[in-house]
Structures are given as C-alpha cells and as structure tokens.
Structure 1
C-alpha cells in the first residue's frame, strides 16, 4: 500500500478541480486589482497551465 500511486483517474480529477479553484481565485484577484478581466476563457487557460505544471512537477 505504501508504494501505491493511486488511481490515475482520481488523480486527474483532483488535479483538475484543485487547479480550477486556484486558477479562479488567482484570476479573480487579478481582476479585483485591475490587472486582468475575469473571463471563463482566462480561467480555463490558467487551469490548463496549472494542470500541466503540476503534472511535470510530480513526475
């Protein structure tokens, strides 16, 4: 059990949800201070970037 990597589908969904929440918070914060505007496309792009970075870091 200690060497188990877990189910990759569960890890993918966890990464997706947590990255989306973090990306939403970051984009909202940048919108709040007036640097960017909060759009769905920007949140999706930030989520994708965070997911790729997370994947690269854990591998």
Structure 2
C-alpha cells in the first residue's frame, strides 16, 4: 500500500480543483493590484499552467 501511486483519475481531479482555486486567487490578486484583468479565460490559462507545472514537478 505504501508504494501505491493512487488512481490517476483522482489525482487529475484533485490537481484540477486545487490548481483552479489557486489560479483564481492569483488572478484575483493580480487584478486587485492592477496587473491583470480578472476573467474566466485568465483563470483557465493560469489553472492550465499550474496543472502542467504540478504534473512535471510531481513526476
């Protein structure tokens, strides 16, 4: 059990949810200081970048 990698679908969903929430916070903060406009597209792009980064860091 200690060597189990886990179900990849569960890991993907966890990565998606956590990256999306973190991306929302990042984009909101950048919008708050006037650096980046808050939009669904910016949040989605940030979430996608965070997901890819997380995938490569954890593998």
- Please give the TM-score of this superposition, normalised by the length of structure 2: 0.98
Unmatched segments (≥5 aa) in structure 1 = none
Counterpart for residue 5 of structure 1: 5
Q: How far did 1:49 drift?
A: 0.3
In structure 2, C-alpha distance between the alignment counterparts of 1:35 and 1:44, rounded to whole Å = 17
Counterpart for residue 25 of structure 1: 25
Counterpart for residue 16 of structure 2: 16
Moved over 2 A (4+): none
In structure 2, C-alpha distance between the alignment counterparts of 1:3 and 1:36, rounded to whole Å = 42
- Please give the TM-score of this superposition, normalised by the length of structure 1: 0.98
Q: What's the RMSD between the two structures over aligned residues? A: 0.3
Aligned length: 59
Unmatched segments (≥5 aa) in structure 2 = none
